[in-house]
Every structure is written in C-alpha cells, then in structure tokens.
A and B are shown apart, each in its own frame.
Chain A
Amino acid sequence: MPKLNGAGLLRGLIGTAGLLVVLEAAGRLGAWDTERLPLVSTVLLRAGELLADPEFLVSAWSSLTTWALALALTIAIAVPAGLLLGMVRPAEVAVRPLIEFLRPIPSVALIPLVILMFSETTNMRITVAVYAALWPVLVNTIYGVRDVDPLAKETLRSFGFGPASVAYRVVLPGAAPFIATGIRLAASVAIVLVVTSELIAGGIEGIGVFITIAASGNRLDLMIGATILVGLFGILVNALLVAGENRLFRWHRARTEGAT
C-alpha cells in the first residue's frame, strides 16, 4: 500500500481536477447533448445536493448499514476460519479444493439464487456481499498465519505456553497485518456487491434502488451524482483503513522494509 504523501496527494488532485475541467469544457463546447448527458458541473452540484436530500439519505443509510453488517459478518466468519485453516495443515488440505471451486464463482451470478432463498432484501444483500468479501479475508488470514515465524512460536512454547496461548499471543498478532489488508480489500468488494444487489434485485431502499429509480425517470444527473458519492465513500473507507494499518502495524512495515 503506497503511502500518500503531500506531493502525491496534490498531484492526484491536480490530475482529477484537470480531467474534470477538460470534460466540462468539452460538454460546454457541444461535444455531446447536455440535455441527455449533463455537464460535469451539474453532476457535481447534484451530488452535493444529494447529501442534503432526505430521500437519498434514507437510501444511503440503508446501504451503509447493510455494508457494515456484511463486513462485520465477513470478519467474524473468515478470520477464525482462516486462523484454523492456517494453523491446522490437514484441515486446509481438506477444504482447499472446495475453496478453489467456490472462490472464482462471481457473487453476482448467485444473486438470482439468493433472491429465491431470502424473502427479506437486507438478508439477501448481506449474503451476496459476504460471499464475495469472504475470500480476500480468508486467503489473507491463511497466508498471514503461515507467514508467522516458527521460531516465534517455539520461543513461547519453550516458556511452557500451550497451543491456545501461542495462537492468541503470537499467531494472531503476527498475522494481523495480513488480516487487515484482507479486510481492506473486503470492504471495497462489499461496497460493490451491496450496490450491485440493490441494482439487480431492487427493493425499497438503498443507493442501488435510488439509482434505478433515477434511471427510470431519465435523471442521469442524479444517477451519476449518486454513483460519484458511492465512489467517494469507497475512497474514504480505503484511506481510513490504510491510515489505521500504517499506525497499528508500524512494526511490520519496519520489518519488511528493513529486511532488504
């Protein structure tokens, strides 16, 4: 994870602003029919207005809670499972074919099936998101557990600590940086799947539902405005998690960088 320093951030902002200016200019010069596809400035203005629009906020809150629940459930399932599979080699060997089979199945392809299984839309959305978000956390946890130095474990064992203590005091903290990376990836995946399931399966609330309704009213400004807000939320979550990782796992960074 490259750390964004001041200069990098500035360049990124300049690049983004430059693209927006070019698009705005092209729109104003008549490159496309702005009645159909609105100007950049219109979309940005609409995105800002949406943040104060009660109807949108209800939908956004619905998506946000679905996402948070999905991520929490993902962590609650994938981290313990990953710890177990990482530590118990025979168990990992036994379920690996299953993992390799299930992992490439696109979560989206499961949506029709899950719709039939759940009558309640929130449960359906959570299930779809968890299914997709599970894999990066599970695989990273297994990898992280494997990466824990055998000598680190032996040291604690030599002081007479049992397997449970070794798992809690050495394996879990040692694997934590990898688990955190998995969770960060899962957070992005879960956003995508929550919105996708809302778009495909519909419902009463949710950003995906809001976008669908805007589309049926031919309101491209609202559609794109809402989409931009989802994207910004994704960036914000990622930045917060990266900052958290940099803070918590300074030791890991120092170690991997010092190991050259």
Chain B
Amino acid sequence: MLELVDLGHNYGSYRAIDRVNLKVAQGEVVCIVGPSGCGKSTLLRSIAGLIKPTGGTVLLDGKPVDGSPENLAVVFQDYSRSLYPWMSALANVGLPLRRRGLDKKKRDAAAMNALEQVGLAGAAAKFPWEMSGGMQQRVSIARALAYQPKLLLMDEPFGSVDAQTREELEDLTLRVCAHHGMTILLITHDVDESVYVGDRVVVLSKAPGTVVGDLPVQLPGPRDQIHTRELDAFVRLRAEVGRLVRGITPQRNTHGNTHGYGYGVETR
C-alpha cells in the first residue's frame, strides 16, 4: 500500500536521507529504527507530504503522493505541541473529522468512541493542559483513530512519556491497530520497542539515512511486555537490530532481504 522508491532529501548541501526503498503491505506494522540524525523524521515528513522530497517518489496505493494525502494520520512525539490547548480533548479528536464532511453530532460521536478506545471517555471535556503526558498522547492516538486513516504514521510516539506509560501505550497501539486493521509506520530510536511493536523492523543507517536492514519479526502473539521480551527470539532479534543500528557488521546477511516484504508467516 505504501512504496518508497529511491526516496532522498537534501537540506541545502546536507543529505538527510538517500535512496530509501521500502514497501509496506496493507495491515503491516513496520518500525523504522536508526541512530539519531539518520533522517527518520525527514522520511516521515516526506511520506506525510509535509515536505517535498528532493529525490525519488512516495507511492500510496500506487499513486504518487503530492501534498498531504487523504487517509493518512500522524501521531507526533510532542503531544503538547500537536494538541490544541484551546480545545477540549473531544474537540481535539473531532477536529480532523471536518475533513470527512461529518456534522457536529457525528463528529462528537466518533470522537467519543475513539476516546473510549484509548480509555479516556471520562476525560472528554478536559483540556490537554489539564492532563498528564500519557493522557495527552492517548488523545493524540484517539485523534488518529477517529480519523480512521489507512496509513498511520507515528514519529517517536512514546519518546516523551515515562517507561510505564510507554509500555501501556505500546500495547494500546498494538491492540487498537489490530482491531482496525490499520497499516502503521512507527519511527523510533528504541531498538527494544521496534522489535516489540513491529511485524517488521527496518533499520536506517547514519545520515544520509538509507535502509541497511529489513528484518521480519516472528514472535508469537499476542505480545506481552514481560513474556515476549524474555523470549530467545526477541533477545536475538534485538541484538541483531542493535548491531545494525550501531553499524556493526551483522553475522548474517540481512541486505538480501528476500522475505522482507509480504512474507507469509504472520505469527501474531
């Protein structure tokens, strides 16, 4: 459903990403992980149509992306800046639904439904600044859910919350997205998180960022914060991704990637 072809972007003479090629299938959860400054956010912005990449193409359902595509939502790391402080949680969640041409009643109903899914039905009338960081990020996630995008982009979505909240939000994301059959592209610098959340982990190199690894995650589901993380397969995969992120030559060839895209063995 999403395809990046030789995607590259320069800021002046600085090359942020270089020839990124990636295919994401419908319903897949793909984590992109890389060292800081590997152009992760540039990649996400290019897909979201927030910047115009200087090279290559982004194809969404086979069509080149020009401007911000329909059916796409973004959850940013910085919830406090991406939510509107002059609006209640309900109004924040309902705002993008104006694009769907819904009247106020339907918008409110859909927003309430999304807030219920993230466990915030009781806080609908609260303002973002009356909420904890974790609650605010739940509102951001609810906003994306209510919009019902085909593709959900998440830019370090759990980077600004404490460890416990982070685990909760990871599980929440997995749960609601499985429920909606959404395709997710999640960007993170956290190796553990990428393996825990993803169906696939794509590793970017240091700037200029390019794909240096594309590993399927074959862990039994449903995933569990304690149980999954102690599995041998999890530990091995985490080590492998970790090496790739640090630029240490991996023990087995991951560049060949014959089964990275559309692999049949869905284990979750």
- Which A residues lie at the B interface, using CB under 8 A? 149, 151-152, 154-161, 165, 169-170, 173-174, 176, 249, 251-252, 254-255, 258
B127 to chain A, nearest CB (A): 6
Q: Which residues of A contact B76 (CB under 8 A)?
A: 151, 154-155
User: B129 and A251: CB pair below 8 A?
Assistant: yes
Contact of B86 among A158, A159, A251, A258 (CB under 8 A): A251
B68 to A, closest residue via Cβ: A160
Q: Which residues of A contact B99 (CB under 8 A)?
A: 159-161
Task: Name the 6 nearest CB pairs between A and B, nearest first.
Answer: A159-B96, A251-B85, A158-B74, A151-B81, A155-B82, A254-B129
User: B85 and A160: CB pair below 8 A?
Assistant: no
A149 to B, closest residue via Cβ: B81
Q: Which residues of B contact A174 (CB under 8 A)?
A: 84, 86
Q: Which residues of B contact A151 (CB under 8 A)?
A: 76, 78, 81-82
Instruction: Supply 9 further A-B pairs (C-beta < 8 A) apart from A152-B82, A158-B68, A158-B72.
Output: A154-B50, A155-B76, A160-B68, A160-B70, A174-B84, A174-B86, A251-B85, A255-B85, A255-B129
Q: Which residues of B contact A170 (CB under 8 A)?
A: 84
User: A173 and B86: CB pair below 8 A?
Assistant: yes
Interface string of B113-132 (1 = CB under 8 A from A): 00000000000000101100
Contact of A159 among B81, B84, B85, B147 (CB under 8 A): B147
* Bound Cα distance A154, B67 (Å): 12
Is B48 in contact with chain A by the CB < 8 A criterion?
A: yes
User: B78 and A158: CB pair below 8 A?
Assistant: no
Is B250 in contact with chain A by the CB < 8 A criterion?
A: no
Contact count band on B = 20 to 34
User: A254 and B85: CB pair below 8 A?
Assistant: yes
Q: Which residues of A contact B74 (CB under 8 A)?
A: 155, 158-159
* Bound Cα distance A254, B69 (Å): 34
B197 to chain A, nearest CB (A): 21
* Bound Cα distance A249, B76 (Å): 25
* Bound Cα distance A173, B92 (Å): 13
Is B95 in contact with chain A by the CB < 8 A criterion?
A: yes
A165 to B, closest residue via Cβ: B98
B129 to A, closest residue via Cβ: A254
* Bound Cα distance A156, B50 (Å): 10
* Bound Cα distance A156, B129 (Å): 19
Contact of A258 among B73, B82, B129 (CB under 8 A): B129
A257 to chain B, nearest CB (A): 10
User: A252 and B68: CB pair below 8 A?
Assistant: no
B232 to chain A, nearest CB (A): 39
User: A158 and B48: CB pair below 8 A?
Assistant: yes
Given A169-B95, A251-B86, A157 and B81 touching (CB < 8 A)?
A: no
* Bound Cα distance A165, B147 (Å): 17
A163 to chain B, nearest CB (A): 11
User: A152 and B84: CB pair below 8 A?
Assistant: yes
User: A159 and B129: CB pair below 8 A?
Assistant: no
Q: Which residues of B contact A155 (CB under 8 A)?
A: 74, 76, 82
* Bound Cα distance A98, B8 (Å): 42
Q: Which residues of B contact A152 (CB under 8 A)?
A: 81-82, 84
Q: Which residues of A contact B86 (CB under 8 A)?
A: 173-174, 176, 249, 251-252
A170 to B, closest residue via Cβ: B84
* Bound Cα distance A239, B153 (Å): 47
Interface string of B11-51 (1 = CB under 8 A from A): 00000000000000000000000000000000000001110
Q: Which residues of A contact B129 (CB under 8 A)?
A: 251, 254-255, 258
A166 to chain B, nearest CB (A): 11
* Bound Cα distance A188, B225 (Å): 61
* Bound Cα distance A161, B73 (Å): 12
* Bound Cα distance A156, B82 (Å): 9
B70 to chain A, nearest CB (A): 6
**20 A-B contacts (beta carbon < 8 Å):** A149-B81, A152-B82, A154-B76, A156-B96, A157-B68, A158-B48, A159-B68, A159-B74, A159-B147, A160-B67, A160-B70, A161-B68, A169-B95, A174-B84, A176-B86, A249-B86, A252-B85, A252-B86, A254-B127, A258-B129
Interface centre among B67, B82, B86, B130 (most CB of A within 10 A): B86
Interface centre among B70, B78, B84 (most CB of A within 10 A): B84
